[in-house]
Amino acid sequence: MRLITSLVALTSLYTAVLAADNGLAVTPQMGWNTWNHFGCDISEDTILSAASALVANNLTQFGYEYVIMDDCWHAPSRDNQTGAPVADPAKFPNGIKDLSDKIHAMGLKFGIYSDAGTYTCGGRFGSLGHEQIDAQTYAEWGVDYLKYDNCYNEGLSGTPQISHERYANMSQALNATGRPILFSMCNWGEDGPWNFAQNIANSWRISGDIMDNFDRFDDRCPCTSVIDCKLPGFHCAMSRIIDFAAPVGQKAGPGHWNDLDMLEIGNGGMTFDEYVTHFSMWSILKSPLILGNDITNMTNETLAIITNEAVIAINQDAAGSPANRMWKRSASEGGDLSLWAGSLVNNTFVFALLNTSPAEQTVGVDLADVFFDQGKSYQTQAYEVFDLWQKDGAGSWGKSIGIIQGGMNVTIGVHQTKVWKAVPAPQANTKRNYAEL
């Protein structure tokens, strides 16, 4: 037994020191990024306003800390003497170092974007072949985070080894600067980064770009699975990315996460319940939580979703174990229902029910399915169950719905997700069986 315990301890130690050897993203990174809302239309002002709004809305208290400048910050070309990257002087009249100093002075961290190719996806200069000078310049600018894209990669993909080498070059250049810089790899799942990037990146995108839509099929996101996908594309509906993520959860852990792409909550393309699903699923699958809306102008509904501290706590749980899909069934009226479950620290658990169908559904959730991995004693014992999308008497997210044993019946609305935390109950004499919620 002791041998097993020390082996487990050793394994987790080993896992912890992987991930680009930078000690970062021990839990999934949280922050805000310019791209989903502003695209190329960014400037010093866009970024500083967002940074101020992060602070003013107390989002820092919930863990959001990185302010990330995505594509299109670049001048038309590099410095023609030194080869160093240069920012667009019209958009950034005070330069990037000044911007990052201001962000740091607000208690935040600063992220930048580049591309492991000749050009970025927006057609600016890329970093392929310029890894050292770029990493060095970012470090001098006080950069804390690099999102590293995959456009114009000169065909340097097609095998895990080729992709690994291209991304490892930048990972090593970042490490060589001596500055801790979170490395967020964005090769859209090409060549299966979940198999080869654990020790070079803190996170890797698993799919083509997200679209602010629940389930619309779009041929520009043609793959039905991310395993062996040859054209990740873009315009991937949110619920399709959930399907994509289901099989690869097993490859993520502290310091190396599956990135389901930046959040669309607050950008207007989905309903409240759909955005609750988006936040819930990204959280339990341990994706980085990078806001992608205009945080200077948010509705109370958007703010409520992104500040659900009980759901964020699942995302940031120290066990770092993504939930698994325990079953997926066709719903009675089109679409699917799926049950997800995962382990948290201190012998507690999370489980969630997702309804992608266009109708309300009532379904039995069996604890034998929730605790399939843990075995019989876990399947049959009683739990206090907390609904993480209901508030308790004190106004905090996570209301106890009682002691549950065996299972429960759940009614779940169109495109909703319900998320529960289960804590083993000390005694089972107040149990409810299949309680109607």
Eight-state DSSP code of residue 20? G
151 or 312: whose CB is closer to ligand GLA? 151
Cβ proximity to ligand GLA: between 288 and 322 the closer is 288
The one segment of 114-122, 127-135, 332-340, 345-353 that binds ligand GLA by CB under 6 A: 114-122
**Which span (95-103, 116-124, 135-143, 177-185) binds ligand GLA, by CB under 6 A?**
116-124
* Nearer to ligand GLA (CB atom), residue 35 or residue 145: 35
Indicate whether 65 belongs to the interface with ligand GLA (CB under 6 A).
Answer: no
Structure tokens at 34: 């310019």
Applying CB under 6 A, does 35 fall inside the site for ligand GLA? yes
- The footprint of ligand GLA on this chain (CB under 6 A) covers a number of residues equal to 10
Maximal C-alpha separation, the chain: 77
Q: Are 220 and 209 in contact (CB under 8 A)?
A: no
User: DSSP characters for 388-423?
Assistant: EEEE-TTS-EEEEEEEE-SEEEEEE-TT-EEEEEEE
Tell me if 160 contacts ligand GLA by CB under 6 A: no
**Cβ 72 to ligand GLA, closest distance in Å?**
7
Classify strands 417-424 and 348-355 as parallel, antiparallel or unpaired. Answer: antiparallel
Catalytic residue among 71, 115, 134, 149: 149
Which of these ranges, 13-21, 76-84, 115-123, 138-146, lies near ligand GLA under the rule CB under 6 A?
A: 115-123
Nearer to ligand GLA, 149 or 264 (CB): 149
For ligand GLA, which stretch binds (CB under 6 A), given 5-13, 77-85, 119-127, 315-323? Answer: 119-127
Residue from 44, 70, 259, 264 in contact with ligand GLA (CB under 6 A) = 70
Q: Is 71 in the site for ligand GLA (CB under 6 A)?
A: yes
Applying CB under 6 A, the span of 15-23, 118-126, 252-260, 318-326 interacting with ligand GLA comes to: 118-126
What's the one-letter identity of residue 20? A
CA distances 58 to 37, 53, 65, Å, are 20, 8, 11
Q: Which is nearer to ligand GLA, 35 or 383 (CB)?
A: 35
Interaction of residue 122 with ligand GLA, rule CB under 6 A: yes
* Catalytic hit among 71, 134, 144, 209: 209
What is the dihedral angle through the alpha carbons of 32, 35, 36, 37, rounded to the nearest 10 degrees?
Answer: 90
Exactly one of 121, 263, 341, 365 binds ligand GLA (CB under 6 A); that residue is 121
Using rule CB under 6 A, residue 264 touches ligand GLA:
no
Q: Which is nearer to ligand GLA, 235 or 251 (CB)?
A: 235
Chain centroid offset of residue 237 CA: 15
Tokens matching residue 421: 């935390």
Active site residue 71: no
Cβ burial of 266 (10 Å; 0-12, 13-18, 19+) is buried
The CB-nearest residue to ligand GLA is: 121
427 within 8 A of 399, measured Cβ to Cβ: no
* CA-angle at 252, arms to 338 and 239, nearest 5°: 35
Catalytic residue flag (residue 259): no
| Contact flag: residue 382 with ligand GLA (CB under 6 A) | no
Assign 255 to helix, strand or coil.
coil
Instruction: Please give the residues from 185 up to 224 whose contact with ligand GLA meets the rule CB under 6 A.
Output: 186, 209
Specify the residue, 122 or 247, whose C-beta has the smaller distance to ligand GLA. Answer: 122
- Cβ 187 to ligand GLA, closest distance in Å? 9
By CB under 6 A, name the one of 44, 134, 149, 387 that touches ligand GLA: 149
Nearest to 238 by CA among 404, 131, 148, 356: 356
Q: Determine how β-strand 348-355 pairs with β-strand 435-436.
A: unpaired
Nearest to 372 by CA among 346, 345, 342: 342
Give residue for tokens 């995108």.
Answer: 205
Distance CA 123, CA 166 (A): 19
Least separation in angstroms between CB 426 and ligand GLA: 47
List the 361-366 sheet strands across, edge first.
Answer: 361-366, 407-412, 435-436
Query: DSSP label at 138?
Result: H
Instruction: Give the three-state DSSP class for 299.
Output: coil
The residues carrying an active-site annotation are 149, 209
Chain contacts with ligand GLA (rule: CB under 6 A):
35, 70-71, 120-122, 149, 186, 209, 234
